[in-house]
Structure 1
Amino acid sequence: MTHEAAVTGSHTRSAAMHEIPEEMRHDVGLLGELLGQVLNEYGSEGLLQDVEKLRELTISALDDPDGDALAAAEELVDSFSAYRAREVARAFTCYFLLANLAEEQHRVRTLRSRDGEVPLTEQKPSDSVASALAHLSEEVGQREAERRLKELRFQPVLTAHPTEARRNAITASVRRIGELLDERDDPRMGTGARAKNRREMLEEIDNMWRTAQLRVSSPSPLDEVRTALGHFDNSFSKTFTQAYRRMDDWLQGEDSGAGAPKAPAFIRLGSWIAGDRDGNPNVTASITRQAVAQAADRVLSELESRSRNVGLSLTLDERYTPPNEKLTTLWNRYKQLSEELTTTAAEHSPGEPHRQVMLAIAGRVEATRQRDADLAYSVPQELIDDLKVVQTSLSEGGAQRAAYGDLQELIWQVETFGFHLAELEVRQHSAVHSQTLEWLEDPQGYEASGKKMAVPGEEVLETFRAIASVQQRYGMDAARRYIVSFTQSAQNLADVYTLAEKALGGPENVPVLDVIPLFETYDDLQNAPRILDEILQNPHLQARLEQTGRRMEVMLGYSDSSKDVGPVAATLALYEAQEKIAAWAIENDITLTQFHGRGGALGRGGGPANRAIMAQPPHSVDLRFKVTEQGEVISARYGNPEIALRHIEQVVAATLMASAPSTEKRNAEAARRFADLAQTMDEVSRERFHGLVGADGFAPWFAQVTPQDEVGLLVIGSRPAKRGLSVESLEDLRAIPWNFAWGQARINLTGWYGLGTALESIDDVELLRSAYAEWPLFRALIDNIEMSLAKTDRRIAERYLALGDREDLSALVLEELDVTTKWVLLITDQQRLLEEHRVLGRAVQLRNPYVDALSLIQLRALRTLRSGDTAEEKTLDDARNLLLISLKGVAAGLQNTG
């Protein structure tokens, strides 16, 4: 399945191909060639030829939109047997997985090249931490900049929402192919090694091809936990400390590692995996306990191994690096604690006191993992204190680099991960709490009334007992945040405290709880400051504020607000809510963290995180950024350690810069200057959006023209596509399948609908270009919508819309698509979408015809399924299977799901 051949005879496509860097073109060509060889060897006669023919037709259709190539491609797809259609869909899906690898490798190659060219302390690129720190120092002074640095906090929160459409087996295979591809960049690789590499790559691609792309059964929450732990092993455990070291390099240059660090451990990892029970009956109290135990075991194993390795490296003789008094005291304390522990360390390291103590520390970490109460550390701070005793002794003995090298990175690890790895955050719907309280008042009467509970009352109570047991075993930070979905009143938070007391037999037994309101709908965002005023009167919250130094979190949901009012009005509503909540916090002397519930799709707050941070209202960031990282976003941002490091640096730089006086002033002035523009965009886009989704019969029409109903059949997560409280209308559909379905239909409506009509009503190109140049929020909105539009295809969209019987609704969608595209091009002064983003734009342009091929296959399946009773059951089963394969392929091709 070659890639170069795809561009011959096409000026547009050839030009696009030649703007792709040569190394990336070579990688795509190599991977496509190897996949073609696998298809040829597979034994299915004519498979490769059919794949090539379909690919050539969809490419021709893109190059000549007025020709008949797309119709010919559609005819070819319809002529395939059910088996052949499935194999062709699998082939294109595999191609996208490989093409994505090539793009990732290009990013890594670019990062390495840039890193090799720029000295450690040079302020490049402009979005680097070095640049941000220098800029901040100029504005507020060096001392204030260093003080602010100590307050810096980045909190990524992993979620297992059903948006990662790949099986773990496929993900592992792709990772191995990526490692082999990376090896080929080594200039030392000889002919024999290169041949071996190619052979191993071919073997892995063959394995990937022969691996079933569809899961047989849903992953359990604990399966999802294991996936997250894989990210810890492959990325987080190393990358986070590398980020600290890089920052210290920028701050201290060559002195980094030879003295006390200036870089703080600014990352704290959170997780909703096996903690988020909103709409997921598979997440129980027992599952939550097991998840925390697995994470704790994994991080303690890492800390034990790291401690032992540091200890083994400290072969410093006491004659040349004498121990200080505190180290000797610590060793004597260990001898009293356990003769076995110290005897073993002393026998292996005579005359090496620092090594002896470190090996004893490793033994205590092992005891902590094994729950040996006599030797275990009770809290992470005890371990940190012991490590710092070793560090200080080394430093005073003249071994500065031993003190602040690997040992410092171990200390950073403990500060970051503790003994729990990631804080497990519990989330539950406010209605579940009110139902449970009603049930507790009269259990028999509740059941006799015929009312049904979304979650059994005893399970709700058991959740609080699980939190208490987790804190008792692993510490308060292992699980103390409790998020209330659909917070609409102060009573919603009060219910949580009441339930906790009932579950544990009184207030004296209740664990530490930071109860966090989650504002999700448009109306709730509008009412957030009023609700927060009421919440502030709660005595439990007041007591907690006193304990934390008046620190508090508020969460904002990006998904449901967008589904309520459309992407434009939701973006503006979220900005306004953040602005008002930040002002509320200042007024009430609260140090506030705004927690952003973003998804991967642009309709759910997706897009580059650093640009989003820089566009936030004044005082809404204040050196703290907390955000959900969902599904395929985790793999994209953190799957490759080098890309993960770059992502962290961009987020941190943006978080520092967003809190700079000049940034806050710019954003505030721009918001005031373009307030009238924002109001018009809000009102007109909202009216346009409601005109579509509020039309009679919209919900069944939406189910007809997209694979929305079939998304629920795709086994990609433990969480259902719909909440269990009620499933009677579009309002009850989760935002993830709402976005996923529109993306699959190549319409991406959730990312742009309503903008075009709003801009048309303004009809002032110069004003809009000024806003694009001067107002970061507007620029981020337009740039994100441009990306969303670039992944649409009007001709394919027309075919999906034709599946329905509402020409009026189809016309609304296509008209809005056209007018939105027109205005985005006018504002950005481009002839085509992503014209100014050369590599990204060409990459999207090159992959679109391949996505088109899968879309045509998906359309075939949908037409069969929509035919209903006229098709035989086997035909319907074949169509369902084909559809599910195509869903995964299109998701891989578009590089996002929900």
Structure 2
Amino acid sequence: MTDPTPLPDTDLASSDKDHLLREDIRLLGRLLGETLREQEGEEAFAVVERVRQHASRFNREQDPAAAAQMAAALDDLSLEATVPVVRAFTYFLQLANIAEDQHHVRRNRAHARAGSRPREGSLAHTLERLADAGVDAGALAECLAVARVSPVLTAHPTEVQRKSILALQRQIAARLASCDRTDLTPDEAAEIDAALKDAILTLWQTRMLRPVRLAVIDEVKNGISFYDDTFFAELPRLYCRLEDQLRAAFPGREWTLPPFFRVGAWIGGDRDGNPFVTAPVLTEAMRLQSAAAFDFYLAELHTLGAELPLSQRMVKVSPALAALVERSPDHSPHRADEPYRRALSGLYARVAATARCLDDHAALRPAVAAAEPYESGEALRADLAVLAASLAANGSERLAAGRLRRLIRAVEVFGFHLAPIDLRQNSDVHERTVAELLARAGRCADYLALSEDARIALLVEELATARPLQSRWIDYSEESAGELAIFFAAREIKQRYGDGALPNCIISKTDDASDLLEVALLLKEAGLMQPGDAPALAMNIIPLFETIDDLRAAPATMARILALPGYRALVASRGDEQEVMLGYSDSNKDGGFLTSGWELYKAEIELARVFARHGVRLRLFHGRGGSVGRGGGPSYQAILAQPAGAVSGQIRITEQGEVIASKYGNPEVGRRNLEILAAATLEAALLDNENRLENAEAFYPVMERLSELAFGAYRRLVYDTPGFTRYFRESTPVAEIAHLNIGSRPASRKPSERIEDLRAIPWVFSWAQCRLMLPGWYGFGSAVGEWLAENPDGLALLQRMYAAWPFFRTQLSNVDMILAKSDLAIAARYADLVTDAELRDSVFARIEAEWHATRNALRDISGGAEPLADNPLLARSIHHRFPYLDPLNHLQVDLLRRHRAGETDERVRRGIHLTINGVAAGLRNSG
């Protein structure tokens, strides 16, 4: 890094709107360079700067000499000197991420100040589109009445950064933001500069890696932190803003939105492959969530008390508010004439008592006196509504429209449980547990040997009787006892915190109708399903279809289960709604990205038809990852590219790994991402983009054939090539990733080397580290080439599909993004780690040929567009960060080679893990 302005070269043409971004990057880079010099010495600073200059020149000019000079500078490093270099480049990439996020916020604010037309993805833009399409207020109100939008936070381990590091990054972001929004005096500017220096120094002196693996409760606490950062403030604001926009767009109608947008959670309830999620862990996860909600409510009530010192000598109050005041334990003479403060003191005391009762959690500020706890969140909301109504009725409506309005909405959305936790387990575990229950009760000696028809018949009989199978006097296997304990804990949690606390039970690897009936039976054993003439479920049973075969079978499976009168009655008890989860990650690993995307699309179409025949509302839950290789990519385009009828105003989407911090770590970025989900869902539900295509179904046979060809190419490489597993494990850091303490869940489902048993996360994460991103593009080039050989005049049709069909265009846009992040030259260095030269040369040659074929096919179909032509933000980001990413990859390869050769120095292993952290930061959506 140069002194004083070390960071990226900016002589390439850039628009003026990015000037402040470049300034921020220069500032943060200068401060990081100063910190490096102070803490590690002039020699370390000089090495980093020399490497940076060579890497920047290579990325700018593609000069091989610059690449060779960069490599020589890195190869000469001692182990002792390597770690500071890795840390310097890693921290720069993290700081560049902060600057980019802050620039997004800055540009959004600039558009707002300038009165620009609403931008795509905003609710204002959506309302304009709906009005232009002739959607009236009645249709919109009907949609919102049944709408459900829910991003669901999971603990899938691709977030390599510690919570302490993320907290420091938020401090730096806040300091940058304050520079934008204040006309600073010289002293104030100096103070911010000093604060930035201090934060970067603290960052440098903070351990980057976790010494031990995260526990599940650590993951729960990390998830809760995003409520403090973003969700508590921004979700209520989203509701209020949309209500105000609806009143402006459709005057004459009173808009009060139902709580259609909620954030969900898997953390603490997802047991699939994670033996550390137990009944006590689930209970503690809910307690921690609840305590966080109470802390927020108590702080807001305290602040409201300071904001509403209204005197009864100046204002009137409603009889209902007078009754609240009468019941308040606040009898201070200093507040005798301040009814709102006294009422709020009473509410505070009751909320504090509720926190003690439910969670054994003490309020930070003690209440004025003891009070009765609330029986439900709705009771608290009703009391808050009394304050709002009294203010509105007595000339103070504006005072009710701010913090009080948002708090009422928060209580409605978060309740006393904060976020609904989903339970998830593999169908094989449910199956074994049911088999043991049936055998130990003398009902069926060998359930596992039964045919599917026989299983269904037996389960239907058992679900119709109130007689339990489980007995407290029988000792069950550890697995079955653990599963039963989870369901009994779920019943206690629902009784304690309300039905909304644990609404869903998800079945991984669903492949038969009996999988759903087995869960219904386990729910019945725990008192969460009531048999009888009007059977009732207390939880939603949600099948998760993950593999290509399971996706293809999903419509038939759901048709069969919905045709069973007993199960159909259970669905009726849940409001005639049935959720189905579709797995993107495992289907991608199973069949490649193109086939996964197409099979998901077809499954949604057929499921919508099945559900329509049975009179059941379908809600789809999309198990998307962060990277394209796990079904990720921009959410707005992905939702709009869903087939017609697949959204219907209801959608749930997983938010995983590093994507959670990227989307929701910054409140303003989080606000934009929440708004995008709501806007896209309303557009997809009400505009039916796919139905407006002429002859859309004419594209389907082409897509079917492309998928078939891509599937063949992918399977031939990954599953049919002898030695490919060895190639993968030696050419990527998958083994080293497994020992990086980034999550509580093991990397593989079973103790084996097979790719089939490896989880999708380390599979994709590993390919990202070596800069191939193979799961996000492989097979497309071969598929297009073979299809064009069969259809010599077919390019024009593919180009029409790209121009007219949102699904196809989104698929190709994601490929474009992935190819831009990949680098064959760097990948070739990782391939050199494969010890079998013949295997290495053979496999890498195939990968290289497919990469070029895919890039050429993408160029031809898009009409020769430049890479990332429709994604200038990513193009800019790549320009800023790749000079800092390439040295990390170079060092990672060298350290992997030394580690695998038997070098036992702890600094080698630590260096590998630091480079993994740095590359992940540079790519952002890495796993």
**Which of these residues, 195, 198, 202, is aligned with residue 197 of structure 2?**
202
**Which of these residues, 283, 288, 307, is aligned with residue 294 of structure 1?**
288
Report the secondary structure of 1:15's partner residue. coil
1:378 aligns with 2:404: no
Alignment of 1:97-176 (within 5 A): 97-118=94-115, 124-137=118-131, 138-176=133-171
- Residues 45 and 141 from structure 1, CA distance in 2 versus in 1: closer, same or farther, beyond 3 angstroms? closer
**Which of these residues, 304, 313, 320, is aligned with residue 307 of structure 2?**
313
What displacement does 1:362 show?
2.5
What displacement does 1:237 show?
0.3
What displacement does 1:366 show?
1.7
**Cα separation, 2, equivalents of 1:530 and 1:254:** 43
One-letter code aligned to 1:721: A
What displacement does 1:505 show?
11
One-letter code aligned to 1:881: R
- Residues 178 and 250 from structure 1, CA distance in 2 versus in 1: closer, same or farther, beyond 3 angstroms? same
**Which of these residues, 793, 814, 827, is aligned with residue 784 of structure 1?**
814
Deviation string 1:416-440 (CA, Å, 9 cap, x unpaired) is: 1111000011111111112223344
**Which of these residues, 679, 702, 722, is aligned with residue 653 of structure 1?**
679
**Cα separation, 2, equivalents of 1:500 and 1:187:** 57
- Residues 309 and 547 from structure 1, CA distance in 2 versus in 1: closer, same or farther, beyond 3 angstroms? farther
What displacement does 1:444 show?
14
Deviation string 1:135-155 (CA, Å, 9 cap, x unpaired) is: 324423222223323333211
Q: Which moved more, 1:500-509 or 1:55-64?
A: 500-509
Please name the residue that 2:458 is paired with: none
One-letter code aligned to 1:412: R
What displacement does 1:829 show?
3.6
What displacement does 1:643 show?
1.0
1:888 aligns with 2:914: no
**Which of these residues, 342, 352, 368, is aligned with residue 366 of structure 1?**
352
**Which of these residues, 770, 775, 790, is aligned with residue 745 of structure 1?**
770
- Residues 782 and 581 from structure 1, CA distance in 2 versus in 1: closer, same or farther, beyond 3 angstroms? same
Is the CA contact (8 Å cut-off) linking 2:86 and 2:888 kept in structure 1? Answer: yes
Please name the residue that 1:521 is paired with: 547
What displacement does 1:798 show?
1.3
What displacement does 1:239 show?
0.6
Please name the residue that 2:512 is paired with: 489
Please name the residue that 1:177 is paired with: 172
1:467 aligns with 2:497: no
Please name the residue that 2:892 is paired with: 858
Please name the residue that 2:661 is paired with: 635
Alignment of 1:334-413 (within 5 A): 335=327, 342-344=328-330, 347-371=333-357, 375-413=372-410
What displacement does 1:503 show?
5.0
What displacement does 1:886 show?
0.5
Please name the residue that 1:716 is paired with: 742
**Cα separation, 2, equivalents of 1:892 and 1:215:** 16
Alignment of 1:200-279 (within 5 A): 200-253=195-248, 261-279=255-273
What displacement does 1:18 show?
6.5
One-letter code aligned to 2:503: R
Alignment of 1:21-32 (within 5 A): 21-32=18-29
What displacement does 1:412 show?
0.7
What displacement does 1:76 show?
2.6
Is the CA contact (8 Å cut-off) linking 2:509 and 2:544 kept in structure 1? Answer: yes
Deviation string 1:600-626 (CA, Å, 9 cap, x unpaired) is: 011111111010010001111111121
Please name the residue that 1:767 is paired with: 797
One-letter code aligned to 2:831: L
Deviation string 1:527-574 (CA, Å, 9 cap, x unpaired) is: 001111222255664343222320121111100000011001111111
Please name the residue that 1:873 is paired with: 904
What displacement does 1:112 show?
1.0
Cα-Cα RMSD: 2.9
One-letter code aligned to 1:795: A
**Cα separation, 2, equivalents of 1:507 and 1:262:** 34
Is the CA contact (8 Å cut-off) linking 1:299 and 1:420 kept in structure 2? Answer: yes
**Which of these residues, 92, 95, 107, is aligned with residue 95 of structure 1?**
92
What displacement does 1:71 show?
3.2
One-letter code aligned to 2:724: F
Alignment of 1:597-608 (within 5 A): 597-608=623-634
Deviation string 1:84-121 (CA, Å, 9 cap, x unpaired) is: 112211111011011111111111101111122228xx
Is the CA contact (8 Å cut-off) linking 2:528 and 2:537 kept in structure 1? Answer: no
Report the secondary structure of 1:722's partner residue. coil
What displacement does 1:245 show?
2.1
Report the secondary structure of 2:134's partner residue. helix
Report the secondary structure of 2:214's partner residue. coil
Please name the residue that 1:594 is paired with: 620
Please name the residue that 1:85 is paired with: 82
What displacement does 1:831 show?
5.8
Report the secondary structure of 2:689's partner residue. helix
**Cα separation, 1, equivalents of 2:135 and 2:438:** 57
**Cα separation, 1, equivalents of 2:53 and 2:337:** 73
Q: Which moved more, 1:70-79 or 1:232-241?
A: 70-79
Deviation string 1:260-301 (CA, Å, 9 cap, x unpaired) is: 654444311210011111111111110110010011011022
Please name the residue that 1:191 is paired with: 186
What displacement does 1:197 show?
1.5
Please name the residue that 2:783 is paired with: 758
What displacement does 1:347 show?
4.4
Deviation string 1:491-528 (CA, Å, 9 cap, x unpaired) is: 11222222334456995899822111001111000000
What displacement does 1:19 show?
7.3
What displacement does 1:661 show?
4.0
1:425 aligns with 2:422: yes
**Which of these residues, 40, 59, 63, is aligned with residue 56 of structure 2?**
59
**Cα separation, 2, equivalents of 1:66 and 1:244:** 53
**Cα separation, 2, equivalents of 1:666 and 1:260:** 31
1:458 aligns with 2:455: no
Report the secondary structure of 1:517's partner residue. strand
**Cα separation, 1, equivalents of 2:616 and 2:527:** 30
Please name the residue that 1:449 is paired with: none
One-letter code aligned to 1:838: P
**Cα separation, 2, equivalents of 1:318 and 1:548:** 47
Alignment of 1:473-872 (within 5 A): 473-502=496-525, 512-537=538-563, 541-666=567-692, 669=694, 671-694=696-719, 695-724=721-750, 727-763=752-788, 764-804=794-834, 805=836, 806=839, 807-830=841-864, 832-867=866-901, 871-872=902-903
Instruction: Give the TM-score, by structure 1 length.
Output: 0.92
**Cα separation, 1, equivalents of 2:708 and 2:281:** 45
**Cα separation, 1, equivalents of 2:400 and 2:904:** 70
**Cα separation, 2, equivalents of 1:579 and 1:761:** 27
Q: Percent identity?
A: 36
**Cα separation, 1, equivalents of 2:685 and 2:246:** 19
Please name the residue that 2:367 is paired with: none
- Residues 499 and 148 from structure 1, CA distance in 2 versus in 1: closer, same or farther, beyond 3 angstroms? closer
One-letter code aligned to 2:637: R
Q: Which runs of 5+ in 2 are unaligned?
A: 359-369, 445-475, 789-793
- Residues 661 and 834 from structure 1, CA distance in 2 versus in 1: closer, same or farther, beyond 3 angstroms? closer
Deviation string 1:801-826 (CA, Å, 9 cap, x unpaired) is: 22223122111110111111112223
Deviation string 1:729-763 (CA, Å, 9 cap, x unpaired) is: 11000000000000001000011111111222344
Please name the residue that 1:338 is paired with: none
Report the secondary structure of 2:615's partner residue. coil
